[in-house]
Amino acid sequence: MSAESVTACVLLIGNELLSGRTQDANLAHLATTLNEVGVSVREARVIPDVPEVIVSTLNEVRQRFDYVFTTGGIGPTHDDITAECVAQAFAVPLIMNEEIAETIRGYAKVRGMSEAVLAASLRMARVPEGACLLPTDVGAPGFAMGNVHVMAGIPAVMQSMISKLAPTLAGARPVRSRSVGAYLGESTIADALTALQNAFTDVDLGSYPFSEDGRYGTTLVARGTDEARLEAVAAALRTLIIDHGAEPLERS
Amino acid sequence: MSAESVTACVLLIGNELLSGRTQDANLAHLATTLNEVGVSVREARVIPDVPEVIVSTLNEVRQRFDYVFTTGGIGPTHDDITAECVAQAFAVPLIMNEEIAETIRGYAKVRGMSEAVLAASLRMARVPEGACLLPTDVGAPGFAMGNVHVMAGIPAVMQSMISKLAPTLAGARPVRSRSVGAYLGESTIADALTALQNAFTDVDLGSYPFSEDGRYGTTLVARGTDEARLEAVAAALRTLIIDHGAEPLERS
């Protein structure tokens, strides 16, 4: 991998992801969107709604990666503790953000919310002192504190946030890929693939078995930042497949 | 959470999960299956096919959790490096397991594999010295080394492995849950829910917004090991919903 790469860690926060109740739908979308702007997700962690775990994980990964993106835990209920954990990790107070609070008060008026419900909703206006807001077209805003970007867990809200946030990030060259499939077992091409990987050290070659219509095959994926090199590898992969008696299948 | 709980960390290994190319389909299944035998998944990490990262992560989490389960990276190609990383983490040599090797040689004979392809396939017979095999009905076996259980990334193979492995694990009391839904916003019930959580400290209460047929609502989930306490919380949740002017919706 390139030395000029910009790295990210994604933290998926929520007990429901660790109990099996909810299937995460955010990581793949985040990884794809961030890659488009040259930010490479190098690790993701799924962690529970436990303050000590969230705080210590935040403090570990915000040192190790250029960017951190969190999803989950920014609603109004007692198990929504991401904002206070970020404040604790950065050792700053949690304050009421007047911009978010005004939006929530506006909603409250329109909907005729009681004082108690409004007070609960205003939990979502609390951000660490010094944070910047992350706008969204859906729901309440997220926020950025240092290199930590705090987003909603609900996919539609998270997607709105990252679509606005991604173009503002300082990325490196995006990683592109070429995929070629073949009805060949992984073992059949393993040696040739190792040789190819050794010849193209600036490209990551991956091999992924698949089963379609009862036939087994392998998808070969080349990833790298240089289009010309990727084209060269893709051509070499097609030749490799033909040399092993199969037909290259184009993959998106 | 109970002091007698048995904890696990899941490591999902593979660049394809971090590039957004592949959506993980293993964590939720593993979490559910392990919970059934009283093993509680407390953290999951998605890490790339990078030896130093795999080794250091393994050495960190195998100390911190009772069990570690890995998926991915045990095929025959150059990017399948989980077995050698486990060996390195435990500082033991990687050896050829004769039981797996015999099975692979059997396949090779039936399929008329060339010597080169057989040699590549035999990469899948390499396990750390001292490992036990994890049987499977599909594909090559995984292995256990200390408290680390190494499984395939392909969901059908992983599922076969964990279905045989789970009943052999020493678990605590399984965590059970009760869910009740309502067409109520999270803010509306936030205070009452906090009070309920404070009254039932041995139960974890979670609140998850949903949108169905254009209506917004919240699913309330109680998780704990004591069925009687869960029934009591579920009854209290139904009362709470009725008190807020809505109807409790039964959820599975």
* pLDDT value at residue B211: 83
- The verdict on B121 and B61 lying in the same domain is yes
Residue A73 DSSP symbol: -
* pLDDT value at residue A1: 41
Q: Is B195 on the interface with A (CB under 8 A)?
A: no
- The verdict on A137 and A203 lying in the same domain is no
Decide which of A107, A133, A168 is a domain's last residue.
A168
Mutate to test the interface with B, among A5, A78, A154, A204 (most CBs of B within 10 A): A78
ipTM (interface pTM): 0.89
Domains in chain A, number: 2
Residues A111-148: pLDDT tens digits? 888 998 999 999 999 999 999 999 999 888 999 999 99
For B239, the domain range is 176-251
Closest Cβ–Cβ partner in A18, A117, A175 for B188: A117
Query: DSSP string of chain B?
Result: --TT-EEEEEEEE-HHHHTTSS---SHHHHHHHHHHTTEEEEEEEEE-S-HHHHHHHHHHHHHHSSEEEEES--SSSTT--HHHHHHHHTT--EEE-HHHHHHHHHHHHHHT--HHHHHHHGGGGEEETT-EEE--SSSS-EEEETTEEEE-SSHHHHHHHHHHHGGGS---SPPEEEEEEES--HHHHHHHHHHHHHH-TTSEEEEEEEEETTEEEEEEEEEES-HHHHHHHHHHHHHHHHHTT---EEE-
- The verdict on B63 and B116 lying in the same domain is yes
- The verdict on B27 and B150 lying in the same domain is yes
Residue A41 lies in a domain: yes
- The verdict on A108 and A143 lying in the same domain is yes
Q: Distance between the two ends of chain A, CA-based, in angstroms?
A: 22
Interface touch A24/B27, C-beta < 8 Å: yes
Contact B71, B136 (CB under 8 A): no
* pLDDT value at residue B138: 85
Q: Walk along chain B (252 residues) and give the pLDDT tens digit of each residue.
A: 444 789 999 999 999 999 999 999 999 999 999 999 999 999 999 999 999 999 999 999 999 999 999 999 999 999 999 999 999 999 999 999 999 999 899 988 998 889 989 999 999 999 999 999 999 998 889 999 999 999 999 999 999 999 999 999 988 888 999 999 999 999 999 999 999 999 999 999 999 988 888 888 999 999 999 999 999 999 999 999 999 999 999 887
Residue A1 lies in a domain: no
H or E stretch at A180: strand A176-182
- The verdict on A110 and A205 lying in the same domain is no
Please report, for the domain that includes residue B233, its CATH number. Answer: 3.30.70.260
* pLDDT value at residue B1: 41
Question: Judged by CB atoms within 8 Å, which residues 85-114 of A form the interface with B?
Answer: 113
Decide which of A168, A189, A207 is a domain's last residue.
A168
- The verdict on A139 and A82 lying in the same domain is yes
Alpha carbon of B206: minimum distance to chain A alpha carbons (Å): 6
- The verdict on B145 and B43 lying in the same domain is yes
How far CA B88 is from CA of B49, B94, B188, in Å, comes to 14, 8, 53
Contact B147, B68 (CB under 8 A): yes
Q: Where are the alpha helices (DSSP H) in A19-166?
A: 27-36, 51-64, 82-90, 98-111, 115-121, 155-165
- The verdict on B140 and B244 lying in the same domain is no
Residues A37-91: pLDDT tens digits? 999 999 999 999 999 999 999 999 999 999 999 999 999 999 999 999 999 999 9
Residue B1 lies in a domain: no
- The verdict on A149 and A186 lying in the same domain is no
- The verdict on A161 and A210 lying in the same domain is no
Residues of A in contact with B28 (CB under 8 A): 17, 20, 22-23
Mean pLDDT of chain A: 93
Query: 3-class SS at A76?
Result: coil
Q: From its phi and psi, is residue A142 left (phi > 0), alpha (psi between -120 and 50) or beta?
A: beta
Query: 3-class SS at A146?
Result: coil
Tokens of A157: 């809200």
Q: Can you name the residues that pair with B46 across neighbouring β-strands?
A: A44, B12
* pLDDT value at residue A3: 41
**Strand B204-212 with A67-71, pairing:** unpaired
Q: Residue B46 and residue B20: Cα distance in Å, rounded?
A: 12
* pLDDT value at residue A140: 85
Q: Residue B67 and residue A84: Cα distance in Å, rounded?
A: 30
Residue A54 lies in a domain: yes
pTM of the model: 0.90
- The verdict on B88 and B193 lying in the same domain is no
Please report, for the domain that includes residue B65, its CATH number. Answer: 3.40.980.10
Interface touch A30/B20, C-beta < 8 Å: yes
A173 pLDDT above the threshold of 90 = no
* pLDDT value at residue A107: 86
* pLDDT value at residue A121: 92
Contact A216, B60 (CB under 8 A): no
Q: Is A13 on the interface with B (CB under 8 A)?
A: no
* pLDDT value at residue B174: 87
Question: Searching chain A, which residue's CA lies closest to the CA of residue B33?
Answer: A20
Residue B40 lies in a domain: yes
Residue A212 lies in a domain: yes
Residues of A in contact with B116 (CB under 8 A): 191
Closest CA to A218 of A231, A226, A208, A206: A208
> Helices B27-36 & B155-165, crossing angle to 10 degrees?
10
* pLDDT value at residue B111: 86
* pLDDT value at residue B3: 41
Residue A32 lies in a domain: yes
Residues of B in contact with A140 (CB under 8 A): none
Decide which of B144, B168, B192 is a domain's last residue.
B168
